[in-house]
Amino acid sequence: MNPLLDQFITEGRDILQTIGERLLQLEDTPDDSALMGELFRLVHTLKGNSGLFDLPEMTRVLHAAEDLMDAVRDGRRPFDRPVADRLLEAMDFVLALIDEIGDSAEAAPPNTARHANDALELANALRGLLAAAQATTPTATETEPAATPAPSPAPAAMPLEALPSRIQQELTQRLEAGEPLCWLTYEPEEECFFKGEDPFHQILQLGEPCWRRVSSREDWPPLAELDAYRCILRFEAILNTPAEALHEHFRYIPEQVRIIPLQPPAPTSASSSEPPPDAETTWSFNVVLEAQREILGLTDNPPWLSGRLRAVATTLEAAFASIGQVVERDALEQALHSADASHSSQPLLNWLDEQQRRGDTQLPTAASPPGAPAEDIAPPPEAQEPQEPIKFGRRAEDRLAGHTLKVDQAKVDRLMNLIGEMVVTKNALPYLANRAEEVFGTRELAREIKAQYGIINRIAEEMQDAIMQIRMMPVSFVLQRFPRLVRDTARKLGKEVRLVMEGESTEADKNIIEALADPLVHIVRNSLDHGLESPAERSAAGKPTEGRLTISARQESDRVVIEISDDGRGIDPDRIRRKAYERGLIGEPELERLTDQEAINLVFAAGFSTAEQVSDLSGRGVGMDVVRNAIACVNGAVELHSQLGQGTRLRLSLPLSMAVTNVMIIESAGQRFGVPMDRVAETVRVARNDIRTIKRRLTTVLRGRLVPLVTLNDLLALTIEQVPNDDDEFAVLVVRIGADHLGIIVDDCRETVDIILKPLGGVLAGLGGYAGSALLGDGSVLLVLNPRELL
């Protein structure tokens, strides 16, 4: 994809994002004119950008949106819900187009013509809102730019010469009679038939022309190869229609037409005898000169008049130089000086008249030796410097505008993987030191290796930390879609909901943030669907009709905490008990025994869904267990609190980062295993005598608390006894499972290491009880246990 298109897509997405946010803000404060101005500017910028490419559908919709925003900004149309809805819809359409373009690998934007009908409908809908508001005001803002800003003295001689002399004569007469004749060239795009365009009809609609010609833009292929659906025609016509009217007629396809107002042939010989330097140059020169005349004709007298006059003088001098005409510096300086002194443009105008009068006679000869640069035009010192070829990257360091670097995610991920490998590799050094000492008997070397390891270890850790920082993303990355989602969902459900978001700038690792996205959507939909009541129900319960949904994020030590709370009807523990019983999730005894909190937690049980009827919003057959599992996948935890009639609060707690896992190595049955440190509460030695059997289950008392015990070998279905140490004490790993503690008896607890946890792949992927595997520094593979699943 070419860089310009790339840039357009990136910027386009950013702009659309901002537009969406501003629209929602504007709904809350419809009178905020600054906001409105910004919104207009954003739409306007996007439209301008889209015009750089061949994207008529996008431009069409954006143009209509811009006009509507313009009307809103000027107060011709109030900003209300239909406007917001339409604009959001239009922006969604544009985003879809941008995504489509972004997905295509082509260098040029793909043809989006099949969206033409949608675009037309959207544009008409937008304009419909506009028309309703301004039945009296004509849509004057509406001339889509074509090519020429001002009616320019066009190079009429060029095209007219090709015409038969009879028509030339007729045209000259009509021009002299003051008819607004225009030369129109219309080259329909090749795919025009697929867009529902009818070029021939377009031309016929213009009425009887003075002259008309249809030709092909390229040689016709042999009949067998002719593609009848490809339009390669060129229509040319000379019409007695003002240029403005023609622009209006072709306003949706301005890039396909060229409209040149014809001028009566100049009385001088310039147009017919010697050809001017070239058409484009002369054209530019004339446009520039005309513009300067208009500027000099301005009658205001601003404080910056002097600067304006000097700029005009510079411009005039350059313009004459560009067609090879010598300008007498002194005369120009003098004119400028007296103009400046008298606060009047007249001296410069006089100079210009004089210069043009002389130029008319001078021009043909001055321009004829094209190889000789006019060295006597007293240019600024470097004006005649030979044109250097472009050097890319030149002065690049001067141009770095901001201090933020946009980097492809994949590059950062790669960096992260590399540092992960490095962390593991550096762990080989202590093994090497041990080997140096024990196998090769060189203690000295062993010590040096260890010292060096200390340094490498520190640098690696700092580096890892630095890379981790790069990957940190604000929570707003996933929160930003909620204003829209909540708004649309609430409307669909006929509820009034106010969304409050707090702490959006809280940061966490990219993987964590990404893992949050889907669970959050599910939770929020649940809240909207089941939690918050309808306005009628709310007012009956004595609550304000507008429900409140809060999403807050904050950092608590090394975890990110996200809370989603609503002030809805809350969860009824009795109903949950009943449901759970009906579904066979709990037995009769639990029905009585469960505390309210425990009952509420049952919503996390697999196969539990409280929705009485499946709605298209949250009742998609997935329940809160999916949320919990998704969060658990990134080592997060979910807590649910609910007060009947008061509301529900869900608390997600996630680690800041998950790239490197700290595990404790344990031994059992002669093998080594890893256990994630964030699961380990403590490790203790428990004497055989202190282990009791209660109801056939092993337990022990730790700090006055009864802790159930299991042996790892049992969990792994190994029929080997755990091995105590010489003092007949067992090593016990106390792990956290939810709010409870559980002791796992192992043979020995060893050191903790940082590892990169890789999920088990292939046929082992379904193996429960293991979080994954990791490569140790000595090259061996460590299986990492997942205590929760193991139990």
Interacting positions 253-312 with another protein (CB under 8 A): 255, 277-278, 280-281, 283-285, 287-288, 291-292, 294-295, 298, 300, 302-304, 306-308, 310-312
> Binding another protein by CB under 8 A: which of 108, 124, 132, 145?
145
d(CA 791, CA 786): 9
Q: Which is nearer to another protein, 140 or 224 (CB)?
A: 140
Q: Say whether residue 147 binds another protein (CB under 8 A).
A: yes
Cβ density class 38-70: b for 16+ within 10 Å, e for less: bbbebbbbbbebbbebbbbbbbbbbbbbbbbbb
Q: Say whether residue 8 binds another protein (CB under 8 A).
A: yes
- As measured in angstroms, the least distance from the Cβ of 254 to another protein is 9
Q: Which is nearer to another protein, 62 or 599 (CB)?
A: 62
Q: Say whether residue 542 binds another protein (CB under 8 A).
A: no
* Under 8 Å between Cβ of 256 and 186: yes
> Binding another protein by CB under 8 A: which of 105, 135, 390, 439?
390
How many residues belong to the site for another protein (CB under 8 A)? 80
> Binding another protein by CB under 8 A: which of 49, 241, 464, 527?
49
- As measured in angstroms, the least distance from the Cβ of 431 to another protein is 52
Q: Which of residues 77-96 bind another protein (CB under 8 A)?
A: none
Q: Which is nearer to another protein, 38 or 518 (CB)?
A: 38
Q: Say whether residue 33 binds another protein (CB under 8 A).
A: no
> Binding another protein by CB under 8 A: which of 26, 367, 486, 735?
367
Q: Say whether residue 370 binds another protein (CB under 8 A).
A: yes
| CB within 8 Å of 89: residues ≥ 6 apart | 122, 125
d(CA 663, CA 658): 12
Q: Which is nearer to another protein, 32 or 413 (CB)?
A: 32
Other beta carbons less than 10 A from residue 723's beta carbon: 16
Q: Say whether residue 1 binds another protein (CB under 8 A).
A: no
Q: Say whether residue 72 binds another protein (CB under 8 A).
A: no
Q: Which of residues 310-339 bind another protein (CB under 8 A)?
A: 310-312, 314-315, 317-324
- As measured in angstroms, the least distance from the Cβ of 776 to another protein is 48
- As measured in angstroms, the least distance from the Cβ of 43 to another protein is 10
What is the DSSP pairing of strand 211-216 with strand 233-239?
A: antiparallel
The residue count for the chain: 791
- As measured in angstroms, the least distance from the Cβ of 266 to another protein is 19
Nearest of 678, 408, 656 to residue 512 by alpha carbon? 656
Strand ordering across the sheet containing 680-687: 680-687, 729-737, 740-746, 705-711, 697-702, 692-694
Q: Is 230 helix (H, G, I), strand (E, B) or coil?
A: coil
What is the DSSP-derived secondary structure letter of residue 758?
B
d(CA 265, CA 478): 65
373, 377, 378, 381 alpha-carbon torsion, rounded to 10°: -30
- As measured in angstroms, the least distance from the Cβ of 626 to another protein is 40
How far CA 27 is from CA of 30, 74, 79, 485, in Å, comes to 5, 17, 8, 15
- As measured in angstroms, the least distance from the Cβ of 74 to another protein is 14
d(CA 291, CA 289): 5
> Binding another protein by CB under 8 A: which of 110, 379, 724, 769?
379
Q: Where are the alpha helices (DSSP H) in 329-408?
A: 329-342, 346-367, 396-399
Q: How far is CA 434 from the centre of its chain?
A: 52
Cα dihedral sign for 469, 474, 475, 478?
Answer: negative
d(CA 579, CA 54): 58
Q: Say whether residue 365 binds another protein (CB under 8 A).
A: no
Q: Which is nearer to another protein, 103 or 382 (CB)?
A: 382
List, in sequence order, every beta strand (DSSP E) within 193-349: 211-216, 233-239, 257-261
> Binding another protein by CB under 8 A: which of 135, 177, 222, 399?
399
Q: Say whether residue 343 binds another protein (CB under 8 A).
A: no
> Binding another protein by CB under 8 A: which of 166, 395, 406, 696?
395
Near another protein by CB under 8 A, which window of 139-147, 173-181, 196-204, 231-239? 139-147
Near another protein by CB under 8 A, which window of 48-56, 560-568, 730-738, 766-774? 48-56
- As measured in angstroms, the least distance from the Cβ of 505 to another protein is 22
Q: Say whether residue 138 binds another protein (CB under 8 A).
A: no
Q: Say whether residue 247 binds another protein (CB under 8 A).
A: yes
Q: Say whether residue 45 binds another protein (CB under 8 A).
A: yes
d(CA 236, CA 602): 77
How far CA 785 is from CA of 369, 388, 735, 774, 779, in Å, comes to 87, 66, 12, 11, 19
Q: Say whether residue 164 binds another protein (CB under 8 A).
A: no
- As measured in angstroms, the least distance from the Cβ of 399 to another protein is 7
Kindly calculate the radius of gyration of the chain based on its CA atoms and give it in whole angstroms: 39
Q: Say whether residue 397 binds another protein (CB under 8 A).
A: no
Residue window 453-482: x/- pattern of binding to another protein, with contact defined by CB under 8 A: ------------------------------
Residue 125, sorted as left (phi over 0), alpha (psi -120 to 50) or beta, turns out to be: alpha
- As measured in angstroms, the least distance from the Cβ of 326 to another protein is 11
What is the DSSP pairing of strand 680-687 with strand 559-566?
A: unpaired
| CB within 8 Å of 95: residues ≥ 6 apart | 13, 16
Q: Say whether residue 149 binds another protein (CB under 8 A).
A: yes
- As measured in angstroms, the least distance from the Cβ of 304 to another protein is 4
Q: Which of residues 512-531 bind another protein (CB under 8 A)?
A: none
Q: Which is nearer to another protein, 255 or 518 (CB)?
A: 255
> Binding another protein by CB under 8 A: which of 29, 141, 342, 350?
141
> Binding another protein by CB under 8 A: which of 58, 98, 126, 146?
146
What is the DSSP pairing of strand 233-239 with strand 705-711?
A: unpaired
